[in-house]
């Protein structure tokens, strides 16, 4: 269907065919509205980041949690969210309201709504961002990270299918290689989009595509929804917005997102009258490893770590309490950056890697992504998952050795720029191992991993039985050089609960809407300063749905 003629105008134009845009489109189609979707990338990249994602979804008090003996509630989730968000700015007014609305969604209809669309969850719920402080500080008090059966493709496919069906029914015009460069404003209202048609490109999913302009376009509709994602693929923007509270931006970073996550639309929306807020709030990871089979520039993969690895800074000193693997992403980032380095180290054993390393990304989890039960059984059995073993063998950041001396020599070989204090590393490892002789200890990390095994999910597949790192039976020893990896933008276009973009005076910019990461997942930053994980896909689902429904109601 071609919606470019005056007689066949769409009811809405959606800029960006990632999860948020597709969810909004599905809502509009369900309401019988006509939608024109433009995306700068080729059709191969339909679905945006969500396709690559691990498919972890934040749910509160789900049947999966209850089956594992986890007692959760909206009150507990709110306590955790607000403690992590730390809202403290005047512009946090809409983000707070979005947080409250999103929490209610996650604790009530979210799971049923997803199940109606055919989405199912792996029975073991993950425990991300454990915090490790006090009850009123950052972190999830209980496991809430529900992995979608089918990972990222499992989340996004039902919405792709709905959009494709809409296209077949004549309700959707889906245009790839259309890069929006301007929002058209007439009489104070956004009435369309202008931009460049880019040359065809057969780049595979996620790979960078050319920016050769072959034509221009000018498309009109009474509502324009911006769902263009965040800024993580644009390191210049990440650096420009890097918050002073996190020190100077690291000299080197990997990219956890494709280059298409370029953040250009934020400035374009600002020019059209929208207010962009909280841009200095971002969510980057500290456990990035270089991909030996890169798809996009500087492609890094995030390790989702269990809690047992010893975490050392670039010089070999152990990170302070409670900066243990999987406890406090941004606290760890701040600590590493304050030390003046852009990497750190995990020191662990083969036994730990087998049970505790997962890699974030649909392509790194073929068992869950392809719903392959035979492969999945291996996760519970002996040996590390195939993709983890492959990184151990081929990855540039792994050192494997039979003795600690050999390991330290290998680590020094991978970081010639910084002197590793070998004696310090030895003392850190030996001191930690002495804490293993009793079932109680002084070492907070040792206590934390013992305590984690009280949760059935952790004991089954996530936390190795406590052992000495220097126990030869648990070997060989492994060190992993961990890079900083850009990923999510927590700030963005300020919106009200209907997804209407707001101007500097707080009133809606007529005709303009925003959802997904471009809107800080709702309101311009519903996470505040820190996230609880699984809330990004969830934020796209919720904010895309809100905006789609609001546009359908007014058009």
Residues that bind ligand FAD (CB under 6 A): 15-21, 38-41, 45, 48-50, 52-56, 179-180, 227-229, 256-257, 260-261, 264-265, 360-361, 488, 516-518, 534-538, 540
Minimum distance from residue 98 beta carbon to ligand FAD (Å) = 14
CA distance linking residue 205 with residue 207, whole number of Å: 6
What is the phi/psi pair of residue 447, to 5°? Answer: -65, -40
What DSSP designation does 495 have?
Answer: B
Q: Smallest distance, Å, CB 433 to ligand FAD?
A: 33
E strand spans, 274-394: 276-277, 282-290, 300-305, 310-312, 343-349, 357-359
Q: Beta partners for 37? A: 14, 174
Whole-number minimum distance, CB 188 to ligand FAD, in Å? Answer: 22
Q: What is the 3-state secondary structure (H, E, C) of 199-236?
A: CCCCCCCCCCCCCCEEEEEEEECCEEEECCCCCCCCHH
3-state secondary structure of 195: strand
- Least Å distance between CB 206 and ligand FAD? 9
Whichever of 3 and 52 has its CB closer to ligand FAD, that residue is 52
367 forms beta bridges with none
Q: 412: exposed, middle or buried (C-beta count within 10 Å: 0-12, 13-18, 19+)?
A: middle
Shortest distance, position 438 Cβ to ligand FAD, whole Å: 37
CB of 58 to ligand FAD, least distance (A): 7
Is 127 strand, coil or helix? coil
**Cβ distance to ligand FAD smaller for residue 52 or 542:** 52
Contact, 421 vs 317, CB < 8 A? yes
Q: Pick the closer one to ligand FAD by CB: 287 or 313.
A: 287
| DSSP code of residue 258 | -
Q: Looking at beta carbons only, is 14 or 353 nearer to ligand FAD?
A: 14
Residue 250: DSSP 8-state: P
Nearer to ligand FAD, 66 or 211 (CB): 211
CB of 233 to ligand FAD, least distance (A): 8
Min separation Cβ 324 and ligand FAD, Å: 20
Per-residue burial over 329-354, b if 16 or more Cβ lie within 10 Å, else e, is bbbbbbbbbebebbbbbbbbbbbbbb
Query: Strand order of the sheet with strand 12-15?
Result: 172-175, 35-38, 12-15, 223-226, 508-514, 500-502
Which C-beta is closer to ligand FAD: that of 181 or that of 433? 181
Beta strand extents in 263-386 (DSSP E only)? 276-277, 282-290, 300-305, 310-312, 343-349, 357-359
Region label for 179, one of left (φ > 0), alpha (ψ between -120 and 50) or beta (otherwise): beta
Coil, helix or strand at residue 103: helix
Pick the closer one to ligand FAD by CB: 404 or 518.
Answer: 518
Nearer to ligand FAD, 509 or 514 (CB): 514
Question: What is the C-alpha separation between 160 and 441, in angstroms, rounded?
Answer: 52
For ligand FAD, the closer of residues 54 and 391 by Cβ is 54
Helices 93-107/535-554 angle, 10° precision:
100
Instruction: State in angstroms the smallest separation of the CB of 354 from ligand FAD.
Output: 22
Q: How far is the CB of 44 from ligand FAD (least distance, A)?
A: 11
> What whole-number distance in Å separates Cα of residue 536 and Cα of residue 152?
12
> In terms of CB distance, is 92 or 517 closer to ligand FAD?
517
Total number of residues shown for the chain: 555
Q: Give the residue with the Cβ less far from ligand FAD, 255 or 342.
A: 255
Residue 128 C-beta: closest distance to ligand FAD, Å = 9
Min separation Cβ 214 and ligand FAD, Å: 15
Shortest Cβ distance from residue 337 to ligand FAD (Å)?
A: 22
CA distance 221 to 173: 13
Rg of the chain in Å (alpha carbons)? 23
Question: From CA 312, how far away is CA 299, in angstroms rounded?
Answer: 23
If the CB atoms of residues 132 and 229 are measured against ligand FAD, the closer one turns out to be 229
The gap between the terminal CA atoms of the chain, to the nearest Å, is: 19
> Is 171 in contact with 34 (CB distance < 8 Å)?
yes
Nearer to ligand FAD, 23 or 420 (CB): 23
């Amino acid at each position: 269907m071609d919606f470019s003629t005056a007689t066949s105008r769409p009811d809405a134009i959606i800029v960006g065919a990632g999860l948020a845009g597709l969810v909004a489109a599905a809502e509009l189609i369900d309401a019988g509205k006509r939608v024109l979707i433009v995306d700068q990338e080729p059709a191969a990249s339909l679905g945006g980041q969500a396709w690559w994602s691990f498919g972890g979804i934040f749910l509160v008090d789900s049947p999966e949690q209850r089956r594992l003996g986890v007692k959760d509630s909206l009150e507990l989730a709110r306590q955790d969210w607000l403690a992590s968000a730390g809202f403290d700015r005047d512009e946090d007014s809409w983000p707070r309201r979005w947080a409250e609305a999103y929490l209610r969604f996650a604790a009530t209809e979210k799971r049923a709504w997803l199940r109606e669309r055919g989405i199912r969850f792996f029975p073991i719920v993950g425990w991300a961002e454990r915090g490790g402080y006090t009850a009123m500080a950052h972190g999830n008090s209980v496991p809430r990270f529900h992995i979608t059966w089918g990972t990222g493709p499992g989340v996004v496919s039902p919405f792709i299918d709905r959009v494709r069906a809409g296209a077949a029914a004549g309700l959707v015009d889906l245009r790839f290689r259309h890069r929006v460069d301007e929002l058209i404003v007439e009489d104070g209202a956004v009435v369309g989009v202008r931009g460049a048609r880019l040359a065809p490109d057969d780049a595979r999913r996620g790979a960078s595509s050319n920016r050769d302009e072959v034509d221009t376009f000018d498309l009109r509709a009474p509502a324009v929804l911006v769902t263009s994602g965040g800024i993580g693929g644009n390191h210049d923007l990440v650096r420009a917005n890097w918050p002073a509270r996190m020190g100077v931006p690291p000299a080197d970073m990997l990219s956890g997102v494709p280059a298409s996550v370029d953040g250009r639309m934020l400035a374009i929306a600002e020019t059209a009258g929208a207010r962009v807020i909280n841009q200095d709030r971002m969510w980057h990871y500290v456990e990035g490893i270089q991909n030996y089979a890169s798809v996009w520039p500087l492609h890094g993969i995030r390790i989702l770590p269990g809690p047992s690895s010893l975490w050392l800074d670039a010089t070999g000193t152990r990170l302070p309490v409670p900066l243990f693997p999987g406890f406090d992403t941004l606290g760890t980032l701040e600590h590493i950056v304050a030390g003046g380095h852009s990497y750190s180290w995990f020191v662990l054993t083969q036994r730990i890697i087998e049970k505790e390393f997962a890699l974030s990304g649909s392509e790194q989890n073929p068992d869950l992504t392809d719903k392959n039960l035979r492969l999945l059984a291996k996760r519970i059995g002996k040996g590390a998952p195939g993709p983890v073993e492959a990184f151990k063998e081929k990855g540039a950041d792994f050192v494997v050795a039979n003795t600690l001396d050999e390991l330290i020599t290998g680590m020094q070989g991978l970081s010639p720029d910084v002197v590793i204090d070998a004696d310090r590393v030895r003392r850190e490892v030996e001191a930690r191992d002495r804490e293993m002789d009793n079932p109680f200890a002084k070492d907070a990390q040792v206590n934390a991993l013992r305590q984690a095994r009280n949760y059935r999910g952790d004991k089954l597949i996530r936390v190795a039985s406590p052992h000495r790192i220097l126990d030869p039976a648990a070997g060989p020893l492994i060190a992993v050089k961990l890079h900083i990896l850009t990923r999510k933008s927590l700030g963005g276009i300020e919106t009200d609960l209907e997804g209407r973009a707001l101007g500097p005076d707080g009133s809606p910019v007529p005709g303009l809407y925003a959802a997904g990461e471009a809107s800080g997942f709702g309101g311009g930053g519903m996470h505040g300063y820190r996230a609880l994980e699984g809330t990004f896909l969830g934020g796209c689902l919720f904010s895309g749905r809100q905006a789609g429904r609001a546009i359908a109601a007014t058009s």
